[in-house]
Structure formats: structure tokens, C-alpha cells
């Protein structure tokens, strides 16, 4: 699909409740809204873009292959919930129902601090004892409720799925405590929600075969889910946006898995270490050149979904080597790669993490 030219975000679209539709059924309303969006795409880009957009709904995989898995971090929920909900409402109105998997890291930090418990991490994974596990569950359930309530308040049918999806085993009980690795995904509740035209909203808690609740990193949970469901889109929302080449100062639009493997992500901090591990696990398990993952700021979500590869707000990481590598010059020194805030409205910020 060609890029959407012009402003860095999609043009404002009237909310669903303000569009006067004369259709009598939900399917007719969705069809009418899709037609409206196609007309907008023709105006701001091209007829070809509109045709590619509409072709998705006529493919045989539309009914069986989910549209998107979107991982939402706790920081996004804390600082960007209204813009995230607005984007999900837009997608829902045109019949696209993404699956949301969220964490609650900052919220858990607050609860731990209030109770005098010090956070401890190994390799980017939170060490989780019994008290930490109880607070993690509380934080995740509260954030799940807030997200579902926000979506419902603007007309999105959302379905909270807080257990029974991720079957897990202990990652390393002696090192991490009650932290799990997903070994099976039960997707029946997710597919039931999608059939009912609902947006599934999942926490990242897992359970062992004997019912023990385990804390699973949300990035890894989303990766495991996407490997099973094989959605059209996999998006990791991040308040820090995409990846920036430290040599040029420009956002890297597209990078390959091959290039990704060569980077020492541990120098970027524990969060990026786990995230890049999750992305690698996902892409290594997918086949074909179409396998790709986007990392984008919440305000760039819609453009990332509709724009062509490399023309969105974030960074696309793809399995196959891009024909035009996003970082054509080799990074001579590790200090020349940095992760920056890529914000479609505020531009490139200078708050960066040097490698």
C-alpha cells in the first residue's frame, strides 16, 4: 500500500455517533463507513491505496485470520489512553477488531513503592515473589478495567480476558520467582470475542497446568499470541516510538531481522532487551517476506496501520532483508545507535538512550 501523504497523522474523522447513517443493520453501517474511508484515502493518496485497503475485507483470510495483535505498555495506558481508545474506536467502526495485550509496569512500580517493596530485575525480567505477584495481578486487573471502560465509553464493544488464555511454565523459579514462559495459547475466548464484533483486551498473566498464576512479560505474551494467531498486523505501542539511527539522526523506517540480530540491545536498557527478544522470537517463527512487526507511538497507530511499509510513524522490523536497507551504512561504533522518541505530532525529541 502506498504511503499516506500530507500531514503526519490521518485527517480528522467524525466520530461514529455524529455520522448520520441511514442503514438499518450493523453490517450496513460498517459497509457505509468503509466506503467513506475508501473515498478519503482516494483523496489524500491514490485510488490504488483505497483499493488495497478495501481488498483486505474480501480476502478469504479475513474471517479466520485476526486483523492485528497490539501490545500496549503500562506507560501508554497511563499517558496516552484517550488517543489509543480513539484509534481503536476508529478501527472498530470500520469492522477491524484488534486484539490488545497490555502490561502494567509503571502501575506495579507505584504499588510496590507504596508498600515498601523494592523492585528487582534480571535480564529485563521483574523478579516476582509472592507479594509482588499479588500486586502485579491487582495492577493488571485495574488497568484492564480502565482500558475496557475507556473503550466502552466511546462506543467500542470490548471484552476483558484476564485469565485462561496464556498457559505457562516457570521461566526459572530460582532466579525470577513466579515468572512464566508461555507454552500454549488458548484462543477460543479470543475468537469468540471477535465473532461477536468485540475487541479482546488481555492481561499478560499466565497459569500453569495446576492453576498457579505466573507473571508473564507483556512483550513476550504478545509475541507468543501473535505466533499462534498469525494476524495481519503486529504492533508494539511504545511511548518512545520507533528506532533512530544515531549517525543520521533519522528514524529508521524499515530494518531487517538480520540487522536486528547484530545489535547489542542490552546497552539500550532492560526494556528494549526484552522487547527485541520478543520481536526476534516472533519473526523467527514466521515464514515469508510478509512477516513484520511495527514499533510505533500510540498517536501514530492509525497511520502505521494504513500506510505502506516504511511510510508510517514508527519502525517496521521485517523478517526478510529489505530491498533498501533502512540503515545502509554499517554502524561503526555502538554509540552511534540510539533509541529516540519518534512522535508524529511533536517530531523527533532529543531524549535518547545512547548505546
In-domain check, residue 354: no
Residues 6+ apart with CB under 8 A from 223: 278, 279, 281, 282
CATH number of the domain at 254, please: 3.40.1160.10
Q: Is residue 139 part of a domain?
A: yes
Q: How confident is the model at residue 315 (pLDDT cuts 50, 70, 90)?
A: confident
H/E stretch holding 283: helix 270-284
Find the angle CA(149)-CA(182)-CA(72) to the nearest 5 degrees: 30
**Residue 189 domain-assigned (yes or no):** yes
Residue 94 falls inside a structural domain: yes
Select the more confidently predicted residue: 288 or 152. Answer: 152
DSSP structural state of residue 309: T
Q: Is 50 helix (H, G, I), strand (E, B) or coil?
A: helix
Pairing type for strands 99-102 and 199-203 reads parallel
Q: What is the CA radius of gyration of the chain?
A: 20
Assess contact for 319 and 260: CB atoms under 8 A.
Answer: no
**Can you tell me the mean pLDDT for 135-162?**
97
The total of other beta-carbon atoms located within 10 Å of residue 211's CB is 6
> Angle 329-251-46 (CA atoms, 0-180°, nearest 5)?
110
Tell me the per-residue pLDDT of 234-244, one tens digit each, with 9 for 90 and over: 999 988 777 77
CB 162 within 8 A of CB 203: yes
Could you give the CA distance from residue 262 to residue 255 in angstroms, rounded to a whole number?
Answer: 12
- What DSSP string runs through 128-141? B-HHHHHHHHHHHH
Whole-structure pTM value = 0.77
How many domains does one find in the chain? 1
Give me the mean pLDDT over the 213-230 stretch: 94
| Rounded Cα distance, 179 and 214, in Å | 5
Examine residue 10 and state whether it is found in any structural domain, yes or no: no
Indicate whether 241 belongs to any domain.
yes
Range of the domain at 300: 63-318
Amino acid at each position: 500500500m502506498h504511503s499516506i501523504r500530507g500531514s503526519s497523522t490521518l485527517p480528522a474523522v467524525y466520530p461514529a455517533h455524529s455520522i448520520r447513517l441511514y442503514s438499518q443493520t450493523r453490517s450496513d453501517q460498517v459497509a457505509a463507513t468503509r466506503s467513506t474511508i475508501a473515498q478519503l484515502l482516494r483523496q489524500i493518496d491514490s485510488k490504488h491505496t483505497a483499493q488495497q485497503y478495501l481488498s483486505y475485507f474480501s480476502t478469504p483470510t479475513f474471517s479466520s485470520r485476526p486483523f492485528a495483535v497490539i501490545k500496549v505498555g503500562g506507560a501508554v495506558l497511563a499517558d496516552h489512553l484517550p488517543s489509543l481508545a480513539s484509534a481503536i474506536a476508529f478501527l472498530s467502526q470500520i469492522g477491524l477488531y484488534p486484539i490488545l495485550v497490555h502490561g502494567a509496569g509503571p502501575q506495579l512500580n507505584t504499588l510496590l513503592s507504596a508498600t515498601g517493596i523494592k523492585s528487582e530485575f534480571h535480564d529485563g525480567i521483574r523478579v516476582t515473589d509472592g507479594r509482588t505477584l499479588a500486586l502485579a495481578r491487582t495492577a493488571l486487573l485495574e488497568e484492564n478495567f480502565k482500558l475496557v471502560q475507556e473503550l466502552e465509553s466511546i462506543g467500542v464493544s470490548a471484552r476483558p480476558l484476564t485469565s485462561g488464555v496464556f498457559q505457562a511454565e516457570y521461566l526459572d523459579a530460582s532466579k525470577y520467582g513466579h515468572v512464566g514462559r508461555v507454552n500454549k495459547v488458548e484462543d477460543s475466548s479470543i475468537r469468540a470475542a471477535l465473532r461477536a464484533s468485540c475487541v479482546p483486551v488481555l492481561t499478560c498473566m499466565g497459569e500453569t497446568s495446576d492453576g498457579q498464576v505466573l507473571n508473564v512479560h507483556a512483550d513476550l505474551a504478545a509475541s507468543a499470541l501473535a505466533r499462534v494467531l498469525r494476524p495481519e498486523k503486529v504492533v508494539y505501542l511504545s511511548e518512545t516510538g520507533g528506532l533512530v539511527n544515531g549517525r543520521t539522526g533519522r528514524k529508521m523506517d524499515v530494518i531487517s531481522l538480520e540487522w536486528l540480530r547484530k545489535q547489542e540491545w542490552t546497552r539500550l536498557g532492560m526494556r528494549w532487551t526484552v522487547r527485541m527478544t520478543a520481536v526476534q522470537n516472533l519473526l523467527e517463527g514466521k515464514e515469508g517476506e510478509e512477516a513484520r512487526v511495527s514499533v510505533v507511538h500510540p498517536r501514530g497507530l492509525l497511520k502505521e496501520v494504513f500506510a505502506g511499509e516504511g511510510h508510517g510513524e514508527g519502525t517496521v522490523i521485517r523478517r526478510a532483508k529489505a530491498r533498501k536497507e533502512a540503515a545502509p551504512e554499517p554502524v561503526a561504533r555502538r554509540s552511534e545507535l540510539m533509541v529516540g522518541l519518534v512522535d508524529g505530532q511533536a517530531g523527533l525529541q532529543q531524549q535518547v538512550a545512547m548505546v
